[in-house]
Structure 1
Amino acid sequence: MDSNGDETGSAGTAEGAYDPRRQFAEECRSHRELYPQGPLNQTQLAKLANTSKSTISRVETCLGPIPPDLPARLDQIFATDGLFKRLYEEITAQSFPVHSRRRIELEPKAISISAWSPTVVPGLLQTASYARALLREGDPRASDNEVATLVRARMARQEVLKGTSPPDFSVVICESVLRRNVGGPDVMREQLSALLVHGSRRTTVLQVMPLGAETHGLMDGSMSVLTTPEGPPVIYTEGIRSGTIIEDPSTVRLLARSYDVLTASALSRDASASMIRKLLEA
């Protein structure tokens, strides 16, 4: 599947190998039992974390997904300086194929993300229904539970855009993506509506590349530019079952320039929103 579909897959853990999910469970149990004001039982921790006892129990026994908002709450309760958030990011990264993990690890740290998608709605903007339709077609033999797990992993990625300090996010989507019927009319109506909401955010610039646009330097595939406070920008490109992180400064500069040209050739922010609304009404 294309990079912006972000094909996910299971990641097995060899016996005795470091497992961030197990570490998360152990840290939660340990901090609960060693709470400075006295040991907390699961019910007491659940009350502090504004969740249920059953959720805490599942987290501590590695059963089911971790609610996306729980790590930050645990860090606040236990004053652990981002420990649970970092472990959660590692857990999320492991649910993706090896070639995607570096990008998944960089996204939560990014202060700026720029993306170009010629084939599907980018993973950071997909609705659960749209993601489910893509994943179901990507692996027809996967069970409903497996597909549901992959959808949850994809939705968890989107937390990077929902925090109190989200990255500057620029995205250009080909018009063909908006017209392609993924999952049926109801799924597409929901997805187009979601794009309008995303595009209205102050930290997001969403543009559409019209089908009538001329040849440009990024026609061969999708691309993301990620900038973190820790170093220069890197670029992630991906094919159907492969992906590459590009760090060579000259290549990064060339591709970043191509992205700048792409945004100049795309419809404006307002014109892009207008096109999406017209497609939604139709």
Structure 2
Amino acid sequence: MSAEVQGTGVPEDAQDPRRRFAEECRSERELYPERPLTQVDLAKMTRTSASTISRVERCEGPIPAALPPLLDQVFRTDGKFKRLYEEAIASSFPSLFRRRMALERSAVIIREWSPTIVPGLFQTADYARYLVKGGSPLAREDEVARFVGNRITRQAIFDGETPPDVRLVLCESVLRRRFCSPDIMRSQLRALLKAGERPTVRVQILPLDAPGHLFIDWPVTLLTAPNQAVSVCVENYQTAGIVEDSAYVQTALRTYDALTSDALSPRESAHLIATQMETLS
């Protein structure tokens, strides 16, 4: 008999999004309208292998990133598997970051500031891989791959039916920092330019000679919920803080407004990014 989550009467396993994904996959397959599907049938319909479907339904290993939208297409489930997949990815983060991930997924406005690196929502896989290998040189390849996959999965919010408005301000030093090869950095800068072309995304660069400000030492994300409540997320070494006190939130919003005023315009920022790409060799 499975354990229950205290005070809910709900089996603990039932609240595990990875297990729910597996159970929903099996249920949809067995209750397919025309006839029950075998794992081989479903594998053919989703252009994968029967062994992959079997592993997914047994909760063994990660869910292939390409599988959830294909399951939604086959079963006509209106994004159910995509949502469960995102929840499963979020649940794999340390508990300190889980609430932040949940706030990010539901946010209608995301304001990002970074003084050091391109934030996760905008990272390419290669850039993310260099970051994690630099920070954890002894990490196994499967651990690195899982980290990169989780990070890239977060970017699915850009492709939803109602993507959030995303505002990104980067210190100019982020463009000039070369901790990876020129080719990888060039691809990362190209991805920034492409992101800035989205109608819901604005990318700005804060020049190196801009005035000092409250956020100068650390990355900050301001997440606006559908009810317009704003949470301020501050991250540093192995920890994250979420600030919701109204006085601090208002100060953070004013600081972010000042950053956008001191930063280059989106057009000027795109020109600076493109110019920096040309210097990489």
TM (norm. structure 2) is 0.87
Partner of 1:159: 156
Out of 248, 252, 269, the position equivalent to 1:251 is: 248
Q: Does residue 110 of structure 1 match 2:104?
A: no
For residues 34-93 of structure 1, the C-alpha deviation after alignment (integer angstroms, 9 at most, x for no partner) is: 223321112332344455544423322334432445334434544556543332222111
User: Do the aligned partners of residues 134 and 235 (structure 1) sit closer, same or farther apart at CA in structure 2, a change above 3 Å counting?
Assistant: same
Q: How many residues align?
A: 268
Between stretches 27-36 and 208-217, larger displacement belongs to: 27-36
Q: Is the Cα–Cα contact under 8 Å of residues 95 and 150 in structure 1 kept in the other structure?
A: no
User: How do 1:153-192 residues align onto structure 2 when only pairs under 5 Å count?
Assistant: 153-192=150-189
User: How do 1:222-237 residues align onto structure 2 when only pairs under 5 Å count?
Assistant: 222-230=219-227, 232-237=229-234
Partner of 1:195: 192
Partner of 1:261: 258
- Which secondary structure does the structure 2 equivalent of 1:43 belong to? helix
Which amino acid in 2 is paired with 1:198? A
Q: Is the Cα–Cα contact under 8 Å of residues 130 and 182 in structure 1 kept in the other structure?
A: no
Alpha-carbon separation, structure 2, partners of 1:180 and 1:79:
45
Alpha-carbon separation, structure 2, partners of 1:86 and 1:101:
15
For residues 200-244 of structure 1, the C-alpha deviation after alignment (integer angstroms, 9 at most, x for no partner) is: 211110000110111122213111111222451211111111101
The two structures, once aligned, show a CA RMSD in angstroms of: 2.1
- Which secondary structure does the structure 1 equivalent of 2:174 belong to? helix
User: Do the aligned partners of residues 116 and 176 (structure 1) sit closer, same or farther apart at CA in structure 2, a change above 3 Å counting?
Assistant: same
TM (norm. structure 1) is 0.87
Partner of 1:20: 17
- Which secondary structure does the structure 2 equivalent of 1:202 belong to? coil
Between stretches 53-62 and 231-240, larger displacement belongs to: 53-62
Partner of 1:4: none
For residues 117-157 of structure 1, the C-alpha deviation after alignment (integer angstroms, 9 at most, x for no partner) is: 01110100011111001100111111111111111111111
User: How do 1:1-282 residues align onto structure 2 when only pairs under 5 Å count?
Assistant: 18-49=15-46, 51-78=48-75, 80=77, 82-230=79-227, 232-282=229-279
Identity across matched positions, percent: 52
User: Do the aligned partners of residues 206 and 98 (structure 1) sit closer, same or farther apart at CA in structure 2, a change above 3 Å counting?
Assistant: same
For residues 12-50 of structure 1, the C-alpha deviation after alignment (integer angstroms, 9 at most, x for no partner) is: xxx968532122112211221122332111233234445
Alpha-carbon separation, structure 1, partners of 2:238 and 2:175:
23
Between stretches 267-276 and 46-55, larger displacement belongs to: 46-55
Q: Is the Cα–Cα contact under 8 Å of residues 224 and 237 in structure 1 kept in the other structure?
A: yes
Which amino acid in 1 is paired with 2:174? V
Between stretches 204-213 and 58-67, larger displacement belongs to: 58-67
Between stretches 127-136 and 156-165, larger displacement belongs to: 156-165
Structure number, greater radius of gyration: 2
User: Do the aligned partners of residues 211 and 52 (structure 1) sit closer, same or farther apart at CA in structure 2, a change above 3 Å counting?
Assistant: same
- Structure with greater contact order relative to length (CA < 8 Å, sep ≥ 6): 1
5+ residue gaps, structure 2: 1-11
Alpha-carbon separation, structure 1, partners of 2:157 and 2:249:
23
Q: Is the Cα–Cα contact under 8 Å of residues 14 and 20 in structure 2 kept in the other structure?
A: no
5+ residue gaps, structure 1: 1-14
- Which secondary structure does the structure 1 equivalent of 2:101 belong to? helix
Alpha-carbon separation, structure 2, partners of 1:32 and 1:206:
43
Q: Is the Cα–Cα contact under 8 Å of residues 89 and 105 in structure 1 kept in the other structure?
A: no
